[in-house]
A and B are shown apart, each in its own frame.
Chain A
Amino acid sequence: KAGVTQTPRYLIKTRGQQVTLSCSPISGHRSVSWYQQTPGQGLQFLFEYFSETQRNKGNFPGRFSGRQFSNSRSEMNVSTLELGDSALYLCASSPLGVPGELFFGEGSRLTVL
């Protein structure tokens, strides 16, 4: 079974730009959650989707948004990028979501210049 796939793996953007990250979950998994990982803040929850519905979101500004498609693939978007948005963005899938095991992708490393 293929694992969680995230694209792109690395990207560099400048302040004010926007970025879209993609996540393809493990086949059959209906829950996708997103996390921001930085050295100073650790792993912070962004949002969780299940069957195209956002079930919960973390404490991030409205510049961070996401969606899930009918095939469970998910995208997250960050608009008007700031230097502090530089981070590893991790996507995790799970068959039903909380409280199940999370399967993480390799992440998308975003650098904002």
Chain B
Amino acid sequence: GQQVMQIPQYQHVQEGEDFTTYCNSSTTLSNIQWYKQRPGGHPVFLIQLVKSGEVKKQKRLTFQFGEAKKNSSLHITATQTTDVGTYFCAGTSGTYKYIFGTGTRLKVLA
């Protein structure tokens, strides 16, 4: 079945350092979404990418969708303590369901 892997599983960074999480799908995706879940909270939508090679920016966050639409990345520039949480990618390939990645837990040390 379709699988979506994310790396790394955990990442500890010093405040001000950059952070990147990668998402890889076993199948071609129709679109991909990114969510952030704060500790004790629920996933909150960040962005959706649809086009091959698409790049979107939200302030310090940069999202990319691979040319083959099988991988994606989220890059945070100059992390802040408010960036703490688990980042999930979620992809779909033509069915009425999203397959969530395994998540990357980010810890930011002040």
Binding site for B on A (CB under 8 A): 33, 35, 42-45, 48, 50, 55-56, 58-59, 90, 92, 97-99, 101-107
Contact = CB atoms under 8 A, between A and B. Distances in A.
Interface of B: 1, 30-31, 33, 35, 41-45, 48, 50, 88, 90, 92, 95-103
Given A98-B96, A99-B30, A99-B33, 10 more contacts: A42-B88, A42-B101, A42-B103, A43-B90, A55-B96, A98-B92, A99-B31, A101-B48, A102-B35, A106-B41
A65 to B, nearest CB: 16
A48 B97 contact: yes
A31 to B, nearest CB: 8
23 contacts: A33-B98, A35-B100, A42-B88, A42-B100, A42-B103, A43-B88, A43-B90, A44-B100, A45-B100, A55-B96, A90-B43, A97-B96, A98-B95, A99-B30, A99-B31, A99-B92, A101-B45, A102-B33, A102-B35, A102-B90, A104-B43, A105-B42, A106-B42
The interface residues of chain A, by DSSP majority, are classed as strand
Nearest to B29: A99
B97 A56 contact: yes
Given A58-B97, A59-B1, A43 B48 contact: no
B56 to A, nearest CB: 14
A107 B100 CA distance: 16
B8 to A, nearest CB: 14
Contacts of B92: 98-99
B102 A42 contact: yes
B97 A33 contact: yes
